[in-house]
Amino acid sequence: MSKKDSVRISIVGSGYVGLVSGVCFAEIGHRVICVDNNREKIKKLKKGICPIYEPDLDRLLKKNIKEKRLSFSGSVRDVVEKSDAIFIAVNTPPRADGSCDLQYVEAVAREIALSMRSYKVIVEKSTVPAETGKKIKQTMKLYNKNNAPFDVVSNPEFLREGHAIGDFMKPDRIVFGVESEKAEKIMRKIYKPIKAPVIVTNIETSELIKHASNSFLATKISFINAVSNVAERVGADIKDISKAMGLDKRIGSHFLDAGVGFGGSCFPKDVLAFIHMAQNLGYDMNILKEVYRINREQRKIVVEKLKEIIWNIEGKKIAVWGLAFKPDTDDLRNAPSIDIIRELLDSKASVCVYDPVAMDNFRKIFPNRKNLKFARSPYDAAKGADAAVLLTEWSEFGRIDFKKVKKIMNVAAIIDGRNFYDKNKLIKAGFIYRGIGR
Ligand code: NAD
Ligand code: UGA
């Protein structure tokens, strides 16, 4: 990219979204500074160490540092005047009542305003309720001591963990919520190398596009999980139902996999935030309350199925394969594994877990918990177990030698929480098999 096409970008918040966006913007030719107030994180990043597990992120991080398009800072104030566009990508966690906690967004907006001297585009990248852009603008005006001109833009992010680089570089669409032609021009310049349809709207529409998209995907998952509970009761197979439904182009095949439900840092939080936001606006999003409820109930199914097979949980050894909320990430935020393993431990089972990358993060959630062991392999976890439970469909679990597993387990029983295995093959191999909705 020529210097005239390259934009000076800062990204405040170097988590999954901020770091991936920063690395990808650098990769397409912009000069990027990633900022975070977590000193340890910035220290690691400055040394070229990637603080999260995300396929290919480590390589691109090192490459762009070496090619001098990517650098890091612990201070918002230091980067403001070195940037034309400043992205806010901090966390927006749920409060106890389910509403979105915007204190980090507000703090960053305030800090930017305090040191701003020339025109900037302030980009809201974090997922936020509608009308947050207005609030950012209001705060920026309040602390803009130098009266510097600025525009606020909403540019929601649709990447998925585990596929983050691919999703960022080849998105289905790019959305800008803008209020001025000048800001739109800068946003188009930033995203020019990325080929995707661009939707330009006002800020509130753009904010709602993000919430509506996540809530719709969550609704699809809860819908198929609800159907799976009926399927199971009549002897139908949810995998065939999903396949046949998904072939209808109006329905689409994605996000129709029944299982232990959705986890992660976004769907549960964003569904709750949408419910809360609508309530504040005088509208009851009852449909999403049900989506959330079905998802909570779905996690309980694993222990119920275990009880059906081994009757009493107390004193039994349960192997758990997979801890992360989905494959190809070490993220455990809101992972179904946490609730399920807590229930097993509270029922006095002894639990032996294995995950290819999320073990260290899991140890931090359950430090020194009695009856919880960490295995070196799926086989190590299964040794002497009265049942094995699959909670994350890592590809490694697709290569398991079930002949070997059958020999080392106490009882050859598998609860397949993601409908990952060929049911008939496992039954033929002598396993007691329970999937979800089949
Ligand atoms: P994260 O928790 O991984 O990262 C947020 C980062 O912001 C942290 O490193 C934190 O230290 C930093 N931070 C907080 N306050 C700060 C401040 N005042 N100054 C500097 N840094 C600060 O969060 P995430 O998963 O990257 O999510 C960020 C936002 O993007 C959320 O609103 C989320 O809903 C949204 N989002 C996430 C994903 C995803 O896949 N994780 C996808 C799309 C959108
Ligand atoms: C999700 C969205 O897919 C992204 O578009 C969005 O940007 C992101 O949230 C966000 O806003 O943070 P992510 O949470 O990374 O991405 O992961 P998904 O692949 O969507 O999976 C979420 C959860 O749903 C996982 O626990 C997964 O196991 C579960 N899931 C997914 C199902 O149970 N069934 C399915 O058919 C699909």
Region 301-327 average pLDDT: 97
Question: For the chain, what percent of residues have pLDDT higher than 90?
Answer: 98
Minimum-distance ligand 1 atom for the alpha carbon of 19: 26
Model confidence pLDDT, tens digit, residues 71-83: 999 999 999 999 9
Q: Using pLDDT thresholds of 50, 70 and 90, give the confidence band for residue 3.
A: confident
Q: Ligand 1 pocket test: which of 10, 12, 16, 111 has the largest number of ligand atoms within 8 Å of its C-beta?
A: 16
Domains of the chain, earliest start first = 8-201 (3.40.50.720), 210-297 (3.40.50.720), 299-434 (3.40.50.720)
Give how far Cα 351 sits from Cα of 354, 370, 384, Å. 10, 9, 11
* Residue 342, C-beta contacts closer than 8 angstroms, at least 6 positions apart: none
For residues 392 and 252, what is the distance between their CA atoms, to the nearest angstrom?
Answer: 23
Instruction: Compute the distance between CA of residue 105 and CA of residue 387 in angstroms, rounded to an integer.
Output: 45
CA-to-CA separations, 249 to 253, 255, 400, in angstroms, rounded = 8, 13, 34
Ligand 2 atom 2 nearest Cα: 160
Give me the mean pLDDT over the 207-227 stretch. Answer: 98
pLDDT tens-digit map of 255-299: 999 999 999 999 999 999 999 999 999 999 999 999 999 999 999
CA dihedral over 359, 364, 367, 371, signed as positive or negative: negative
* Two structure tokens written together for 35: 């900022």
Clarify whether 24 is annotated catalytic: no
Look at ligand 2, atom 18, and give the residue with the nearest C-alpha.
Answer: 160
pTM, two decimals, is: 0.96
- DSSP H or E run through 45: helix 39-46
What whole-number distance in Å separates Cα of residue 268 and Cα of residue 278? 16
**180 CA to centre of ligand 2 in angstroms:** 33
Q: Report the pLDDT value the prediction gives residue 2, as an integer from 0 to 100.
A: 84
Cβ–Cβ under 8 Å, residues 126 and 90: yes
pLDDT band at 4 (very low <50, low <70, confident <90, very high): confident
User: Hey, how many other C-beta atoms are within 10 angstroms of the C-beta on 248?
Assistant: 9
* Ligand 2, residues at Cβ distance < 6 Å: 127, 157-161, 214, 217, 221, 255-257, 259, 261-264, 266-267, 325-326
Cα 262 to ligand 2 centre (Å): 7
* Closest ligand 2 atom to 418 CA: 33
Alpha helices in 238-358 (DSSP H): 238-246, 267-280, 286-310, 336-346
pLDDT bin (cut points 50, 70, 90) of residue 94 is: very high
